[in-house]
Structure 1
Amino acid sequence: MIKNIGGAAALALLAVLTWWMWLGRDSGYRTDVNGNVTGPYEAWQVIGAGVTLLIVLIAALVLRVHPLIVPAVLTLAFTTAWTIHAAGTDDSGLFAVGALLLLVGLGIASAVVTVGTRAVLTRAS
């Protein structure tokens, strides 16, 4: 039980740090020569965050944090960090849509990766 509590706390911290490292310090939008506004994130930032979260998730499972805890904590911690920041920088209220999409998408993706990783780890042992 202590291992799972410590693992969950470490996982939450790593998820928030992943958000901050890749996305949290960027809130600027850019306008290209055609007047199109993009941002605040570049594709490489989102890919970097995704790959980092994947590594963190797999590491938590290899270290035997309970497989029900891993996707839930990872998803909630990352989504919460993103949502708090987005809510403070968005005047339109559309951050709520982004937060819901992030929650559902990251939740499904992390659950699928957890099932696959557990299957590999079970066969390997």
Structure 2
Amino acid sequence: MRQGLVKLFPQLAAGLVLATVTAGAWAAWLGWDQQRDVQPDGTTTGPYEAWQVIGLVLTLLALVYGAVSRDYIAAVAGIPVGLTAAAYYDWSDDSSGLFMVGVVMVMVGSLAVTAGVAAVIACLTRDGRRSRRTA
């Protein structure tokens, strides 16, 4: 039992760090932009610009790669947790109440994409390690 906890602790700690860094990345890339842009035809867009979302995605890709390359596979769950918490905090002032639909979509989507990207990275890095060992 004790040995299992010793192996689980680094995963949990890395997951907590990833969740915190992910929420910070959300704040850095998206959290400061809260104003919708009004177009000449009266429609509104935003509040986020494409470059902000792309920056967040690239930051999160680096986090996933760093965690998977250090064999913190279970810790990758911290990224969807951080995104979900940040989205909830950022969008909770919506008076319509529909923000929870968006938060759930962020949770499900980020979990699916993070798991898929982590699996691809794990396969690619494991294949590279095997080929280096045999060479």
Q: Normalising by structure 1, report the TM-score.
A: 0.90
- Measured in 2, the distance between the counterparts of 1:43 and 1:94 equals 22
CA RMSD of superposed structures (Å): 1.3
Matches within 5 A, 1:55-94: 55-65=62-72, 67-70=73-76, 72-88=77-93, 90-94=94-98
**Correspondence 1:124 to 2:131:** no
Matches within 5 A, 1:28-47: 28-47=35-54
- Measured in 1, the distance between the counterparts of 2:51 and 2:98 equals 23
**What residue identity is the alignment partner of 2:95?**
D
Deviations 1:93-118 (A, max 9, x none): 12111111111111111010011011
Larger radius of gyration: 2
Deviations 1:30-69 (A, max 9, x none): 101111111111111111111111111111111221x133
Aligned position for 1:27:
34
Aligned position for 1:110:
114
**What residue identity is the alignment partner of 1:64?**
D
Kindly indicate whether the alpha-carbon contact (under 8 Å) linking 1:24 and 1:82 is maintained by their aligned counterparts in 2.
Answer: no
Q: Normalising by structure 2, report the TM-score.
A: 0.84
Q: Which runs of 4+ in 1 moved over 3 A?
A: none
Pairs aligned (count): 122
Percent sequence identity over aligned pairs? 31
| Unaligned ranges ≥5, structure 1 | none
Kindly indicate whether the alpha-carbon contact (under 8 Å) linking 2:11 and 2:74 is maintained by their aligned counterparts in 1.
Answer: no
